[in-house]
Structure 1
Amino acid sequence: MTASASAAEPFKVMALYKFADLPDAAAIRPVLAAFCCARRIRGTLILAPEGINGTVAGTPDAIADLHRYLLAEGPFDTRLAGAEIKFSHAREMPFLRMKVRLKPEIVTLRAPEANPARIVGTYVAPDQWNALIARNDVVVVDTRNDYEVGLGTFRRALDPGTRTFTEFKDFVARELDPARDRKVAMFCTGGIRCEKASAYLLAQGFEEVFHLKGGILAYLEQVPAERSRFDGECFVFDERVSVGHGLVEGEASLCRACRHPLTAMECADPAFVEGVSCPHCAGDAARERTLKQARVAERQRQVELARARGLAHLGDDATRTAQEQKCRKQARKEASRQRQSGQ
């Protein structure tokens, strides 16, 4: 990245995951959270006995510190060596706060037989992906959820139509057959879901299972746009909403009422009212819509008021602002009390 581009996008974003043996995940959680908060890093990291997953952002120096801490200097020792890590940049801080969560799985499938640490499909490098998915004997499957697929996907890819990753098992049982679909190629945002999905398919008896190493993000970073077989933009789980080739921020936006990603065409729809509704949630029942829109309209009003005053409305910045305002109010009350007691 050039100096001018770096100045325009001062925040560095790190997405990572690693299936690893972390029986001490609960003990690591507060230590990792303190490390990130001390460096004003924001985002979400998920810890589980099976590994780590998440996306965070901060200054380049802060992210470099965290990178070293995770791979060599911190409580993980060398257990995260070889983690799948993807860096990108953002114009503004894409997260509101820092969260380190402890969960049973780093990506929830609820299928104990799917253990990527024991068995996993064949990794396919981004520069080899086009040739694989062009083959007629390969079934291509997008393992992401419906709202992600709606923004962009690879040509010929099957859309499982899932709302959550746990529904992927139902899609496999309904639409795929190991006797018929002998070669299956899967992809997802950063690689983690396909890794677990490939382990699941192998456990179900599928013969050859491939998955895109590093996911769509690696593909968009490494494959030139003129050679791309990916149409649209890739949804990301932060305030950037989507990215395109070169991992530049995309054109998609987010409905603040239902959290559904929106294309430019959907934002031009009459049903789209910023902060209130979009084509995906405007069809709610009249009463529920009225109540919801009243709540989100008030929230949008508060956001706009805070913006006009130069204040943050959500996240850690808003928390600090509220604390500062509370302290000032208490100081005024104390000063008033002292004046009255001195009279």
Structure 2
Amino acid sequence: MHATPLTFIATMPASTERFVNIAAYKFITFEDLEAIRPCYQETCLALGLKGTILLTPEGINLFLSGTRAHIDSFLLWVRSDARFADLEVKESYSDEQSHKRMLVKIKKEIITMRMPLIQPELGRAPAVKAATLKRWLDQGHDDDGKPVVMVDTRNAFEVDVGTFDNTIDYRIEKFTEFPEVIAANRAALADKTVVTFCTGGIRCEKAAIHMQNIGYDSVYQLEGGILKYFEEVGGAHYTGDCFVFDYRTALTPQLQPSVTVQCFACRAVVTPRQQLDPRYVYEVSCPQCAQ
């Protein structure tokens, strides 16, 4: 357990240096959250990092942006805790820091599902790596010859920015709706290999465990989510971009910021074409909320 924050004096990056953006999570029993929170906050501030860290009884979830040296220093500090020695991160790059401030929050869950019996720390559902999934989608079936079905566990507005081809999208508005809708459609997915996915792996990890619990016998989670898929195999079998919860709004399959923006008023994603609409007024309205 981290008893003290990292002692470090942050320095300003060179004007030509790009920022590293990382996303990571781990399901693990976390205690003494109130005592641990200041250590994370002080370490991130000392390193000049910006972003959000969620500390919960079931684990940690973080999105941070900073220079290469400062991100590496933070990861060295985090991994000095034996529980996070194997913490894996997904990286992308940007010319500006992808967040505007630094927050360390305490929450009840990493991602709200309200299914307390689901504890990924005690055992995960099977995971499929990006390269294997691409091969399955290339050939149209898994290694046993079963048809592969992609199930998007994200909210509808995220799916609208981009998703895998021929994916099943249940148009959920929040993740707490997923258990009911996936249970109602179990018969339609029988005799198929189901691959759940999300942005970075958190939602699909919980989703796959729940699906196993209610009787799905061939379900996988996409290891590392869409961002890891982009990192390892690019945009094969994927159309559009991937919504992210920072100022970049969405990332292309090349992990570069897309040209979409997010409406200041209703938080909807506004495409380049929609930005030409007279109802789109910067920080005021967009075609979706102006109707």
Q: Which TM-score applies when normalising by structure 1?
A: 0.75
Q: Which TM-score applies when normalising by structure 2?
A: 0.88
Question: Would you say 1:59 and 2:59 are equivalent positions?
Answer: no
Offset at residue 204 of structure 1 (A): 1.2
- Distance in 2 separating the partners of 1:207 and 1:9: 48
Partner residue of 1:274?
282
- Distance in 2 separating the partners of 1:177 and 1:9: 52
Offset at residue 214 of structure 1 (A): 1.0
8 Å CA contact 1:181, 1:206 repeated in 2: no
Moved more, 257-266 or 28-37: 257-266
8 Å CA contact 1:108, 1:165 repeated in 2: yes
- Distance in 2 separating the partners of 1:271 and 1:179: 41
Q: 2:26 is matched with which residue: 3, 13, 18?
A: 18
- 5 Å matches for 1:1-343? 10-72=18-80, 77-133=81-137, 134-135=140-141, 137-177=147-187, 180=190, 182-225=192-235, 228-283=236-291
Identity of aligned residues (%): 39
Q: 1:184 to 1:9 in 2, by over 3 A?
A: farther
Offset at residue 183 of structure 1 (A): 2.6
> Residue deviations 1:133-187, cap 9 Å, x none?
4326332101111111000000111112111111111221332339825531111
Higher share in helix: 1
- Distance in 2 separating the partners of 1:163 and 1:126: 27
- Distance in 2 separating the partners of 1:275 and 1:244: 23
3-state SS, counterpart of residue 173 of structure 1: helix
- Distance in 2 separating the partners of 1:181 and 1:250: 37
- Distance in 2 separating the partners of 1:82 and 1:166: 29
3-state SS, counterpart of residue 230 of structure 2: helix
Offset at residue 9 of structure 1 (A): 5.8
- Distance in 2 separating the partners of 1:184 and 1:190: 18
Instruction: Tell me the matched-pair count.
Output: 272
How large is the Cα RMSD of the aligned pairs?
Answer: 1.9
Moved more, 10-19 or 22-31: 22-31
User: Partner letter of residue 176 of structure 1?
Assistant: R
3-state SS, counterpart of residue 120 of structure 2: coil
8 Å CA contact 2:134, 2:233 repeated in 1: no
Partner residue of 2:5?
none
8 Å CA contact 1:151, 1:234 repeated in 2: yes
Offset at residue 63 of structure 1 (A): 0.8
Higher relative contact order, structure no. (Cα contacts within 8 Å, ≥ 6 residues apart)? 2
Task: Work out which of the two has the higher radius of gyration on C-alpha atoms and give 1 or 2.
Answer: 1
What stretches of structure 2 of length at least 5 have no aligned partner?
1-13
